[in-house]
Amino acid sequence: MKKTGLFFNINLVMRRSERALVLLSGGIDSTTALYWAQNRYENIQGLSFDYGQRHRVELLLARRLTRRLRLPHRTLKVDLRRVGGSALTDLSVPVPLVSRVEDIGSKIPPTYVPFRNGIFLALAAAWAEVNGIEDLICGFHTIDSPHYPDTRVAFVRAMQRAIDLGTASLSRGSRIRIVAPFSRMNKAEIIRLGLSLGADYSFSISCYGGREVPCRRCSACQLREQAWKEIGAEDHLLVRLRKEGKI
């Protein structure tokens, strides 16, 4: 597979990092990022955020996944409900329902959480600085969801610059890097990569509805369903839920 992601290095001879922090939301992209990192680093850990999201079930399943992989996992709490402005943090704002991917629209969606990824990267950088971790692994991509401003390449580059200027790592002879390996891949390509790495998506949650059983009507469900159809395989999550008698 071609190299399409972002790797921000000071120079071409920079020492390879052995420790990585994976920003783990519990969805398809961050689950793939976890397996991707596991194949490249000696020491990795997952970091999730409890930000008051209506679909907090993703946190429970993220913990189950890291336990299965015997990887350390931490959850930081930052209540973005006080900020509001998103269907994911304000229960009075309905999650848009669609019948097909083509109906998702071309504007910034109500499920956008203002500057969420910037907040997460800032907290992750602080965590990494304290714990001597150099690489922040993110599952950001924009091909399927180009209308989220905080996943774009320009945003990631700007956050890298902010981390360089706002942490003490460079003065200590190291650097906290943002690594976004899937930035120019679509969801089907991300899943294919994950499957080649042995990824188990049985415990990954994409649905914005707030339950383990997907609603299949929100944009996240539609994009996930389309991706599995593209690769010609059945979603691991649905297989597990069927075995457990939940669907």
Q: What is the pLDDT of residues 124-178, one digit of tens each?
A: 999 999 999 999 999 999 876 778 899 999 999 999 999 999 999 887 888 999 9
Q: To the nearest whole number, what is the mean pLDDT of the chain?
A: 90
Which pLDDT score is estimated for 107?
Answer: 86
**Alpha-carbon span 206 to 209, nearest angstrom:** 9
Closest-CA residue to 233 (of 200, 186, 184, 206): 200
Whole-angstrom distance between the N-terminal and C-terminal Cα of the chain? 35
User: CA of 173: how far to CAs of 38, 158, 170, 210, 227, in Å?
Assistant: 25, 21, 5, 43, 42
Gyration radius of the chain's alpha carbons: 17
**Alpha-carbon span 43 to 88, nearest angstrom:** 32
Dihedral of CA atoms 203, 208, 210, 215 in degrees, nearest 10, equals -80
Give the domains, in start order, of the chain with CATH numbers: 6-243 (3.40.50.620)
Check residues 106 and 17 and name the one with the higher pLDDT: 106
Which pLDDT score is estimated for 16?
Answer: 56
Contact 128, 21 (CB under 8 A): yes
User: pTM of the prediction?
Assistant: 0.90
Token pair, residue 107, equals 């504007």
For 148, phi and psi rounded to 5 degrees?
-95, 110
The percentage of residues in the chain with a pLDDT greater than 90, rounded to a whole number, is 81
pLDDT class of 15 with cuts at 50, 70, 90: very low
Dihedral of CA atoms 93, 96, 97, 99 in degrees, nearest 10, equals 170
Residue the block writes with tokens 């891949």: 185
Strands 177-180 and 6-7: antiparallel
